[in-house]
């Protein structure tokens, strides 16, 4: 079977994540594209122990990848704007499609790169450049394409949000937390880009173009970082009911576009205020849809690779011959659907909140807990409330259990003379990732 051949330039945090995701999910990816995606060539100065590249052709010079006639898609993950610009323009000149995670490159040279791509009939995809793994460019450019966009506001630098969160929760020093964010692979090669707002401004530039149909204009973004925020500011803001978040804001005022990134006090109770650590979140307000919110990991090896690989898949679909199935109707190609069983509700497992009313008599609780344990149900917490018309409300939280076992237990509990048979059951999901 023919395969789509990918060349990867740069094998750092995002490059290694991209190799790992492409290899681990190769089977499913091939079912989605209709053809396998093959890593044909890697350009890297050195190997990265975070990924296994055995059997893949490696060159020290990334331009060897851009000039390799075998490569269909060049994935630029070296960062920076000088060599990266030249590399991408070279690959485009050679008729290759481009995937990049490089927001600096797109924000500062995107207008030139898109023009070159148009001249050579290739595509440039850069979902990973904004808000890491959140598919925000797809949401804005496609999902909300019916709307006039009123404004976009988001936490779009993971490193900065990580530092602010740690300062607030751990009262640790700025430098210590920044060093940790660097070690985790979140920070830019030059971390002043993160703490002085440059990285957020690059991303906002891209968001604003897609929101409002304006050219990329990085130099016009007002930019302030988080480096002057102190723990006193964080605490004082909290006394007024606010949290301090670094926001990128792009707003259509009707007589001009606001483009600004800066620390911002936002009310503690709004959802953006609950976005912590390396997580990003972007709110978009459209005239038809109203406010919408997108949340997820804004940086890190595999979250970013998630967006890089999605772009590779999209280009891979464009390269497959069957035009009707570029994006298959159900995501996977029709002959690649799988026949996994769907579980009946009895075979679903979750925790349960139970509220029952029992008579105020010795031994009733013991009967209830014995029935639960007979059915392999363990109790996480139990509270007895004030008696109400002779009956005592009991609230029980259970650990995860099969619904069928819970049904058995509830049937027996409801049959007890001492328990009202109207038992309230609400399923509990902690949604731990
Ligand atoms: N780390 C993240 O969480 C993240 C998230 C979204 C986007 N990005 C973007 O992805 C890109 C890569 O970021 P990263 O975190 O993987 O950086 P990184 O520093 O971990 O990796 C970059 C790699 O490219 C190599 N490289 C640089 N110039 C080269 C050259 N001329 N020839 C060969 N190799 C070269 C470096 O040696 C390094 O291994 C950047 O544009 C960054 O802004 C990163
Ligand atoms: N340095 C960036 C990487 C993701 O774009 C951040 O911390 O958000
Ligand atoms: Na993204």
Of the ranges 71-80, 94-103, 328-337, 352-361, which one carries the lowest mean pLDDT score? 328-337
* Catalytic status, residue 23: no
Nearby residues of 297 by Cβ (< 8 Å), 6 or more positions away: 132, 133, 134, 158, 278, 279, 280, 303
4-132+302-336 belongs to which homologous superfamily?
Answer: NAD(P)-binding Rossmann-like Domain (3.40.50.720)
Return the exposure string of 311-324: e unless at least 16 CB atoms fall within 10 Å of the residue's CB, then b. bbbbbbbbbeeeee
Structure tokens at 116: 């070159």
Distance from residue 432's CA to the centre of ligand 1 (Å): 30
Question: How many whole angstroms from 227 Cα to the centroid of ligand 2?
Answer: 16
User: Ligand 1 pocket, 189 CB below 6 A?
Assistant: yes
* pLDDT, tens digit, 9 for 90 and up, residues 96-105: 999 999 999 9
Task: Read off the DSSP letter of residue 17.
Answer: H
Helix (H) or strand (E) holding 305: helix 301-319
Query: In angstroms, rounded to a whole number, what is the distance separating the alpha carbons of residues 234 and 246?
Result: 12
List 203, 245, 251, 361, catalytic entry: 203
Q: With 90 as the cut, is the pLDDT of residue 380 above it?
A: yes
What would the mean pLDDT of 339-367 be, rounded to a whole number?
91
Tokens of 9: 């330039």
Complex ipTM > 0.85: yes
For residue range 247-257, what is the model confidence (pLDDT) as tens digits? 999 999 898 99
Backbone angles phi, psi at 231, to 5 degrees: -65, -30
The pLDDT tens digits for 117-159 are: 999 999 999 999 999 999 999 999 999 999 999 999 999 999 9
To test ligand 2's pocket by mutation, which of 129, 132, 225 has the most ligand atoms within 8 angstroms of CB? 132
E strand spans, 47-197:
57-59, 73-76, 97-100, 124-125, 149-155
Q: Which residues contact 284 (CB under 8 A, 6 or more apart)?
A: 139, 140, 144, 149, 151, 152, 211, 291, 292, 294
**SS3 label, residue 298:** coil
Q: What residues have CB less than 8 Å from 143, skipping those under 6 apart? A: none
Q: What is the pLDDT of residue 373?
A: 97
Q: How many CB atoms lie within 10 A of CB 134?
A: 25
For a ligand 1 pocket test, name from 14, 86, 99, 126 the mutation site with the most ligand atoms within 8 angstroms of its C-beta: 14
Q: How confident is the model at residue 228 (pLDDT cuts 50, 70, 90)?
A: confident
Could you check whether 136-298 and 345-428 share the same CATH topology?
no
Q: What is the pLDDT of residue 323?
A: 62
Least confident piece of the model among 61-75, 136-150, 222-236, 358-372: 222-236
Backbone angles phi, psi at 199, to 5 degrees: -60, -45
| Residue 276 pLDDT greater than 90, yes or no | yes
Name beta bridge partners: 279. Answer: 297
For the stretch 382-421, pLDDT in tens is: 998 888 778 999 999 999 999 999 999 999 999 999 999 8
- Per-residue pLDDT at 329: 66
Q: Are 378 and 398 in contact (CB under 8 A)?
A: yes
Strands 37-43 and 290-297: unpaired
Dihedral pair phi/psi, residue 147, rounded to 5°: -90, 150
Each residue's pLDDT tens digit, 170-193 = 778 889 999 999 999 999 999 999
For residue range 361-377, what is the model confidence (pLDDT) as tens digits? 889 999 999 999 999 99
Which range, of 7-16, 135-144, 314-323, 353-362, averages the lowest pLDDT?
A: 314-323
Give the nearest ligand 1 atom to 185 CA: 1
Contact assessment for residue 296 and residue 303, using Cβ atoms and an 8 Å cutoff: yes
pLDDT digit string (tens) for 206-218?
999 999 999 999 9
Report, as an integer, the average pLDDT of 90-110: 98
End-to-end CA distance of the chain: 36
Ligand 3 (ion): which residues have CB within 5 A? Answer: 127, 130-131, 134, 136, 307
**Predicted pLDDT of residue 173:** 83
Which residues, in sequence order, are CB contacts of 281 under 8 Å at separation 6+?
A: 134, 154, 155, 271, 272, 275, 293, 294, 295, 296
Name which of 161, 163, 154 is nearest 281 in CA terms.
Answer: 154
Q: Report CA torsion sign: 231, 197, 87, 3.
A: positive
- Which stretches of 193-298 are assigned E, i.e. beta strand? 222-223, 242-252, 257-267, 279-286, 290-297
Q: 232: CA distance to ligand 1 center in Å? A: 35
Domain ranges of the chain: 4-132+302-336, 136-298, 345-428
Give the architecture (CATH level 2) of 345-428: 2-Layer Sandwich (3.30)
Q: Does the beta carbon of 187 lie inside 6 Å of ligand 2? A: yes
Note whether 235 and 265 are within 8 A (CB). no
- In this predicted structure, the answer to whether residue 433 has a pLDDT above a threshold of 60 is no
- Does the domain formed by 136-298 have CATH 3.90.1150.10? no
The CA dihedral of 378, 383, 387, 393, to the nearest 10 degrees, is: -40
What is the value of pTM for the model shown? 0.90
pLDDT at 322 over 70: no
């Amino acid at each position: 079977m023919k395969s789509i051949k990918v060349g990867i330039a740069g094998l750092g945090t995002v490059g290694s994540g991209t190799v790992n995701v492409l290899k681990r999910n190769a089977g499913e990816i091939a079912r989605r594209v209709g053809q396998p995606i093959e890593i044909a060539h890697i350009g890297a100065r050195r190997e990265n122990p975070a990924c296994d590249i055995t059997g893949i052709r490696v060159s020290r010079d990334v331009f060897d990848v851009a000039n390799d006639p075998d490569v269909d898609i060049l994935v630029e993950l070296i960062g920076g704007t000088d060599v990266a610009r030249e590399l991408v323009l070279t690959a485009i000149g050679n008729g290759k499609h481009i995937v990049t995670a490089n927001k600096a490159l797109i924000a500062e040279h995107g207008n030139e790169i898109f023009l070159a791509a148009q001249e050579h009939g290739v595509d440039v995809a850069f979902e990973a450049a904004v808000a890491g793994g959140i598919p925000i460019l797809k949401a804005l450019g496609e999902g909300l394409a019916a709307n006039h966009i009123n404004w976009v506001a988001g936490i779009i630098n993971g490193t900065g949000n990580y530092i602010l969160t740690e300062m607030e929760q751990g009262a640790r020093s700025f430098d210590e937390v920044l060093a940790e964010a660097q070690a985790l692979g979140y920070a830019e090669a030059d971390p002043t880009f993160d703490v002085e707002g440059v990285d957020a401004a690059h991303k906002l530039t891209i968001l604003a173009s897609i929101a409002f149909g304006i050219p990329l204009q990085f130099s016009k973004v007002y930019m302030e970082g988080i480096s002057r925020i102190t723990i006193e500011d964080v605490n004082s803001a909290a006394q007024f009911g606010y949290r301090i978040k670094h926001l990128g804001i792009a707003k259509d005022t009707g007589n001009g576009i606001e483009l600004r990134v800066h620390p911002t006090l936002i009310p503690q109770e709004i959802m953006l205020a609950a976005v912590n650590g390396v997580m990003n979140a972007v709110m978009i307000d459209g005239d038809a849809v109203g406010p919408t919110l997108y949340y997820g990991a804004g940086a890190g090896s595999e979250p970013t690779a998630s967006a890089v690989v999605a772009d590779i898949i999209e280009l891979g679909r464009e390269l497959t011959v069957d035009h009707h199935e570029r994006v298959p109707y159900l995501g996977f190609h029709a002959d690649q659907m799988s026949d996994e069983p769907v579980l009946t509700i009895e075979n679903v497992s979750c925790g349960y909140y139970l509220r029952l009313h029992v008579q105020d008599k010795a031994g009733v609780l013991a009967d209830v807990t014995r029935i639960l344990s007979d059915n392999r149900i363990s109790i996480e917490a139990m509270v007895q409330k004030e008696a109400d018309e002779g009956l005592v409300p009991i609230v029980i939280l259970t650990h995860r259990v099969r619904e069928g076992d819970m049904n058995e237990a509830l049937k027996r509990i409801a049959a007890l003379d001492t328990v009202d048979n109207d038992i309230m059951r609400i399923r509990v999901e902690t949604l731990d990732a």
